[in-house]
Structure 1
Amino acid sequence: MKKHLYLLLLLFSTAVFAQQKQVITSIDTLKNKIGAEFKLSIKTTVDTSAKVIFPNLKNIGALEVIHSYPIDTVKLDSKYELIKKYGLTQFDSGRYVIPSIKIFINSKPFVTDSLLVEVANVQVDTLKQKMFDIKDIAAAENPMGDWCKYLLIIALIIGIGAFIYWFIKKRQEKKLQAEIIKTPIEKATTLLDTLEKKELWQKGEVKAYYSELTDIARNYIEEAIEIPAMESTTSELIQGLKAASVKKKMTLSQEIIENLERVLKQADLVKFAKSKPLDFEITEDRNKIQKVILTLDDSIPVEVEVEEDMLLNEAQRQKQIQIQLKKQRKKRIVTALASVFFLLFAVTTFFIITKGFDYVKDNVLGHPSKELLEGEWIKSEYGNPGIVIETPKVLQRVDLTKTLPKDGMALIKEMQSFAYGSVFDQFYVMISTLKFKQETQIDLTKSMDGILQSLEAQGAQNMIVKQEEFETKEGIKGRKAYGTFSQINSLTKSSVKMYYEALLFSQEGGLQQILLFHEEGDKYGDEISERVLNSVELKKAAQ
């Protein structure tokens, strides 16, 4: 029989096989303190097609129903075992009768047993009990955690990138608009109007005003008449203009040439001799330049282009504009993305310097174990004999009965198992309980060896094992094993080193087992394991 028992301990399977043909009533304790919870359980075994109705109650006798737990359903071959639990409490001391409750199975009433419970006062010795002041107001936790701040930072960085894109686009559009002016005369007249709007000489910036004014005239002459006006001195420019007028058969009066020369010399005096013309002289010089430009433009002979050439030139111009627009769009996107990546890099570097690389990795990039640790934990009771435990997630019932040998199953009266994750996840926890049909003396050390052999059978390699005695807060003694092992990651095919802890207890013909492991070096996994094991409460086996 012991041989079969150890074979069962190599497997982590759970399912309930005890069959009931009547309604069974039980309660977790008959004595409790004021305000504490009694858990009333009603269990029945029915056919899979049966319709069972449990009452929805607010009070059961003098006790208040503080929680109506979901019905726990276990499939037993062709039957279902249904367990309904009610959480009861009472805020006055005394003895109370939990009366019979009527449930209906296929419209037929069945009555539960009545129970007597006792509620005791909580004794407080104010002479020995240390008194404390009222605690300060605690700040409410942010339901989104630190992610809210990170999302705001990311949104801000994206907003900055979008603003940079928009700003560059506006500047490029303005520049392109200036570049696609059709003729030199349009460009010159537009620049003269822009110069006047700046009001440079009115602000005392006479030198800057004359510099821009003469540059407009020189640019026009260079583009329209095709002589190197920008690099020429005043005298060279005048000589070049006279020669060009003869070559291009331009009709220019002596007055126009003299006015241009006079303004250019005036500008030279302002720029190099710090001359300060009077206001009316500045205005006259501006009018002279405008008249010179308009006169020069009128005197340039007009060449009649063939219609086909005009269409070709327009098509080429439009093509050049589209090419330039694509280049500008690409430049805007590259600049905006580069700005965003630079800001992300700067923010990340700042956090690495101030908080450390682990902080950035865990809080910005994310860490599965950290999310489990900081999530909402669940405290619940599993199995029979019951194990009350607090876990990051609700443990799901698992059924591995198909993996058990038939001769081994013949020894078991009841068997249950619950787990979160899988043996290949970064964090895994499993609870198993079982009861035997016959009372058996169990050697926990050998049973623990069987559990460790089971881990090796499932792929654990290079196991390091340490065993010691373990005692719960209630004084129940058991066996603890812990250490490390290596396993192959099914996705990356690389070896991962895991840390494990296993607890095993034997009570009144039943076994209670807790197994958990996580990646070695995971500080959040260590904190989860410690919190889980510190929360363990063991219940006595139900008969």
Structure 2
Amino acid sequence: MAKLIIVKHFILFFLLGFILAPIASFAQQQGEVKASVDTQSIRLGEQIQLRLSATMPPQGMDIVFPQIPDSFGHFEVVRRSQLDTTAAGNTKVLGQTIVLTSFDSGRWDIPALRFDLASGGNVTDSAFTAPLFIDVNTVSVDTTQAFKPIKGLRTVAWSFWDYWLYFAIGITVALIGIGLFVYLRSRPKKQAPVPVVAVVPPYEIALQQLQQLKAEKVWQQGDSKQYYTRLTDILRSYFENQFNIPALEQTTEELLQHIKPVTILNQQRDKLRALLSLADLAKFAKLMPSPEEHEGAMQHAQEIVEWTKPAANKAATADNGKEEIKQPAK
């Protein structure tokens, strides 16, 4: 019986040694790993600080901390700190703080967390922390107390400084609008450009009308009255526009009296008298002038206009005529 007990103890110690060998090996190489919390009881939504720590590994070795996901079990990670180093006697300790929270009531565990010891990028050993248990409690409600009514909305005192930016923007926009309105109202309006109409001198109009009358061959068609009526109307309109003489409203004698003050026109008095007299006979006495008289009347009319047009235009016409004479024949 005693021998059986000794054998059992021997086997038990052998198994314990086999199981604890990796831990002892890690402890010899690395030292202690630890996980702790600042509290084991919280209310829904409160936070826990999970502190992970491990002693510094020997030279040439690296310690790999557990990679905790953002959400695991009934816990969620709020934030993580960077690894920090603290001194504990003659050794240095690596540490990390992870803030957790939970929104599920009950007793929940933080499972064992694995630390790895690596050398040259290869894991050579591992160690686990002990699991931790956290009680997540609901908010206690005293059911013996009567339910209290929901509090009404509270009004906050109005303050100008809470809205000063909006006032500044509104005033700025209003000032810009007023400035634009005043500017647009006071800005001088652009006047539409007045189209420039080329003014044709009266003598050019008269000469063109005489040429047109000549081209229509009115007297050749047997209408002498119309021929002389249009011929004298062209001259009378020319006198009114060029010399301001009311020639269209005057008789032949009145017109001849009014041209006396106009020296240049009075110099053609004889031609004008002969032309007007012939025209009166053709229009009122039904005289039938000869073809030579018809052509002579047209020639006298053109000579009167050419003679009485402004001197500058006469000179320009004369120069143009000289240049045409000098040009060699092609």
TM bin (shorter chain): 0.3 to 0.5
Structure having the larger proportion of residues in strand: 1
TM-score (norm 2): 0.35
TM value normalised by structure 1? 0.23
Larger Rg: 2
Higher helix share: 2
